[in-house]
Amino acid sequence: MAMFQAPKGVPEYFGEQAAAFLAVRAALSGPAALAGYGYAELPVFEDTGLFIRGVGESTDVVSKEMYTFEDRGGRSLTLRPEGTAGVMRLVIQHGLDRGQLPAKLWYAGPFFRAERPQHGRYRQLQQVGIEAIGSDDPALDAEVIALADTGFRSLGLSQFTLHLTSLGCAGCRPDYRRALQSFLAELDLDEATRARAEVNPMRVLDDKRPDIQALLGGAPFMVDHLCGACTEHYAAVRHSLRILGVCWAEAPALVRGLDYYTRTTFEFTHDLLGAQSGIGGGGRYDGLMASIGGAALSGIGWGIGTDRTLLACQAEGLEPGAGPMIDVYCVPIGARAKDRLVGLAGQLRSRGVRVDIAYGDRGLKGAMKSADRSGAPLVIVLGDNEVQAETAVIKEMTTGEQSTVPWDRVIDVVQARVQEQAIERNAR
């Protein structure tokens, strides 16, 4: 019988990798929670029309990469390729746009794109995202960007770059569109690219093919065609970023792969990831909510790749989430000892101590081998003699030292030692 395997392009995390993955996700979402962003759990699939209207029919995401299917009721549904459109739908459907503004939300989970799998590019990709809806304050733009920067730095990452630009607004984009189309009309483009230039000329700037990029030297940039209001907004964003201590590189050619971006647009890349260097990005989307049937509210947000950020940590030799999975391993020898340690494990867990037990009624030698493999720094050994004497043996696995502790003091002693070891690990 053939062995089943995970679908191609779908990474899996377990053991030490899972601990690192969870640590990265917590690091990326933690700063958002401190800034008043509430968690939102979003559907994994939505009405296909939401992404066509919200993301943009001319984008590669919609035209080439979506997993779309028809359900039993004949409805067209799509596995979510990104998070912002779904958040906008949630805000409109549940009236969050009529409450306290800006509405601040963060989310995390899998997203799906039918791409050719390669290192760092997956068909099921994991992201953390935030959205702030209902304010066009440039200081909010800076806050959103700074929260991503803070998350990366909390992991110890240093070799990443923030690329920043402005894509203007509905007022100044038409003149730029005409200037760009005039430039592109003089180039020797293939038929598909020329058609794309007619529908959305800025999308051509995002074409990664070397031969197309070679033709784009001298192309006009949106940042050089901003209206007065957009120029002031972009200057204010950079002013607030300076206050927050966030560094950036000007990126006038930055477009991003989605149609809804306006004004502030940004991307984080990592120097050591090669071709798949992007680790996240986002921007302002002032017309998105109205385009899917909501109020004309502005918003800004980002999506950071959890998978990519983990790869960046590994490239820099960082080990997020490193350390033992459990704090204490209990070794019972005999039925009475097992009953006692089962109860003790429950009490320690209720105090936040991570505990496992040598199940299966193994002998001392086999149970201690399991204790060693568990990686737990502390082991509690309890046999008939200890039960009789109302004591327990606590062994420090790193030093081999062991001590006999009165049973009524075991919980306090273990908890104190676990806290000491945690302090030592954090100080390294």
Looking at the predicted structure, is the pLDDT value of residue 257 above 70? no
Return the closest-CA partner of residue 245 out of 119, 165, 142: 142
Domain identity same for 347 and 269: no
Query: So what's the pLDDT on residue 100?
Result: 92
Looking at the predicted structure, is the pLDDT value of residue 370 above 70? yes
pTM of the predicted model, to two decimals?
0.88
Residues 2 and 4: their CA atoms lie apart, in Å, by: 6
CA distances, 387 to each of 105, 203, 357, 371 (Å): 53, 73, 17, 20
Looking at the predicted structure, is the pLDDT value of residue 382 above 90? yes
Residues 121 and 41: their CA atoms lie apart, in Å, by: 24
Looking at the predicted structure, is the pLDDT value of residue 63 above 90? no
pLDDT digit string, tens, across residues 45-62: 999 999 998 888 767 788
Query: So what's the pLDDT on residue 427?
Result: 65
Mean pLDDT is lowest, of 8-12, 189-193, 373-377, for 189-193
When pLDDT is cut at 50, 70 and 90, the band that residue 258 belongs to is low
Domain containing residue 115: CATH number? 3.30.930.10
Looking at the predicted structure, is the pLDDT value of residue 131 above 80? yes
Domain containing residue 418: CATH number? 3.40.50.800
End-to-end, the C-alpha distance of the chain in Å comes to: 49
| Bridge partners of residue 133, in order along the sequence | 103, 299
User: Which contiguous run of DSSP H or E holds residue 173?
Assistant: helix 173-185
Instruction: Give a yes or no: residue 186 inside a domain.
Output: no
Query: So what's the pLDDT on residue 192?
Result: 84
Domain boundary among 272, 289, 315: 315
The Cβ of residue 355 has, within 10 Å, a number of other Cβ atoms equal to: 22
Instruction: Give residue 284's identity as a one-letter amino acid code.
Output: R
Domain identity same for 354 and 423: yes
Give me 137's structure tokens.
């304050």
Domain identity same for 231 and 332: no
Q: What is the mean pLDDT of residues 128-144?
A: 97
Give me 393's structure tokens.
């043996």
CA distances, 63 to each of 1, 68, 100, 249, 288 (Å): 38, 11, 36, 31, 19
CA distances, 82 to each of 10, 30, 36, 69, 143 (Å): 16, 20, 22, 17, 21
Instruction: Give a yes or no: residue 221 inside a domain.
Output: no
When pLDDT is cut at 50, 70 and 90, the band that residue 229 belongs to is very high
Residues 169 and 267: their CA atoms lie apart, in Å, by: 19
Domain identity same for 120 and 260: yes
Residues 48 and 238: their CA atoms lie apart, in Å, by: 36
Look up tokens 């299966």; give the residue: 360
The Cβ of residue 18 has, within 10 Å, a number of other Cβ atoms equal to: 13
The pLDDT > 70 percentage for the chain reads 98
Domain identity same for 382 and 235: no
Residues 45 and 96: their CA atoms lie apart, in Å, by: 21
Q: What is the mean pLDDT of residues 103-132?
A: 94
The domain tally of the chain equals 2
Instruction: Give residue 22's identity as a one-letter amino acid code.
Output: L
Domain span at 246: 15-172+226-315
Domain identity same for 239 and 116: yes
Instruction: Give a yes or no: residue 259 inside a domain.
Output: yes
When pLDDT is cut at 50, 70 and 90, the band that residue 259 belongs to is low
Domain identity same for 40 and 158: yes
Domain boundary among 271, 293, 315: 315
Instruction: Give a yes or no: residue 206 inside a domain.
Output: no
The pLDDT > 90 percentage for the chain reads 68
| Bridge partners of residue 103, in order along the sequence | 133
Grouping H, G, I as helix, E, B as strand and the rest as coil, residue 111 is: strand
Average pLDDT of the chain is: 91
Domain identity same for 338 and 248: no
Cβ neighbors of 338 (< 8 A, separation 6 or more) are: 332, 357, 361
Give me 321's structure tokens.
């989430």
Domain identity same for 370 and 284: no
Residues 180 and 122: their CA atoms lie apart, in Å, by: 33
Instruction: Give a yes or no: residue 89 inside a domain.
Output: yes
Looking at the predicted structure, is the pLDDT value of residue 213 above 90? no
Angular region, 293: left φ>0, alpha ψ -120 to 50, beta rest: left
